Structure 1
Amino acid sequence: MKTEEGIVIETDGNISKVRMGKHSNCKDCGACPGSDAAIITADNQIGAKLGQRVSVELQESNVLIGAFVVFILPLIFVFIGAITGKELGEMLGVNELISEFIGGAAFSIAVIVVIKLFDQFVAKKDKDIPVILKIAK
């Protein structure tokens, strides 16, 4: 777990959106549209209000699994799809290139479904949501 600072930009009961400052782990990621645009949803049990600077505890438990699912798993699925398509194409007497393409495309759609299911699974786990620890001075 690590602690970062950010500013509360929206609150809804015990859930707040916090704009996090960019730190060394974010240097070359490029996932955020701007230099200070990382916005997270955090548990706000302490009652932080709009505009307050807060310390947020971030969970890092699924970072490696998430990176694998988003970056590596699609490559594996497309490769397996192309090989499967080629084998089926040979068995059915269809052009290998076309069957490889169709197999790769089918497995690409399948991996999108797997990623979406993983995202929903991770989103439901309450213990992984960031928590606002304190209001910074």
Structure 2
Amino acid sequence: MKTEQGLVIEVNENVARIKVGRHSECKNCGACPGNNGIIIEVENKIGAKIGQRVVFEVKETNFITSVFIVFVLPLIVLFIGVLLGEVIGNLLGLNVCFLQIAGGFIFVAVAIGGVKKFDNYIAKNHKSMPRITKIL
């Protein structure tokens, strides 16, 4: 498990929103907007209050699974769509290049829908949510 520190900016029942300073890996990636920090939701079973600095932990297995589903799986699905388009084009004697492109687009659209469903599932599943372990 990886631990980080942040500042509690909002509390709603057992969930807190924390502003976390960005480290060098985040700044180099540039996928998220803003340079100063990001805001994440964490499980707040220890009762942290607004304005307190806290330590929270993120399960790395959840992080690795999420990265695979969001970044790697769509690429694999794209490749499968292109191959399937080629096979169908060769079997039916149609334009192979067009069917490869169409297959790639269709399969990526399905993958994006799957990623969206995964995101909704993770948002509702508090087991995968980071959790506050200590108030500083």
TM-score of the superposed pair, with normalisation by structure 1: 0.86
**In the alignment, which residue of structure 2 is the partner of 1:48?**
48
Look up the equivalent residue of 2:69 and give its one-letter code: V
| C-alpha distance in structure 1 between counterparts of 2:111 and 2:77, whole Å | 6
Q: Which moved more, 1:117-126 or 1:53-62?
A: 117-126
Q: What is the SS of the residue equivalent to 2:64?
A: helix
Structure 1: which 5+ runs fail to align?
none
How far 1:27 sits from its partner (Å)? 4.2
**1:69-103 C-alpha deviation (Å, 9 max, x unpaired):** 22221111111111111221222232111111111
How many angstroms does 1:64 deviate by? Answer: 2.1
RMSD after superposition: 1.8
Q: Which runs of 4+ in 1 moved over 3 A?
A: 120-125
* Corresponding position of 1:38: 38
State the Cα distance separating 1:124 from its structure 2 match: 4.0
Give the length in aligned residue pairs.
136
- Name the CA distance, whole Å, in 2 between partners of 1:76 and 1:13: 40
Deviates more, 1:2-11 or 1:27-36: 27-36
Shift in Å, 1:18: 0.4
Give identity over the alignment, percent.
46
Quote the Cα distance in structure 1 between the aligned partners of 2:20 and 2:53: 10
Range with bigger deviation, 115-124 or 68-77: 115-124
Partners of 1:65 and 1:58 lie apart in 2 by: 13
Which ranges in structure 2 are unaligned for 5 or more consecutive residues?
A: none
1:1-137 to structure 2, matched below 5 A, reads 1-136=1-136
2:49 maps to a residue whose letter is K
Contact 2:73–2:111 (Cα < 8 Å) also in 1: yes
**Which one is further off, 9-18 or 50-59?**
50-59
Paired amino acid for 1:42: V
Which amino acid in the other structure matches residue 62 of structure 1? N
Native 8 Å contact 1:19 1:36 kept in 2: no
- Please give the alpha-carbon distance, in whole angstroms, between the structure 2 residues aligned to 1:68 and 1:131: 22
CA distance in 2, matches of 1:111, 1:54: 36
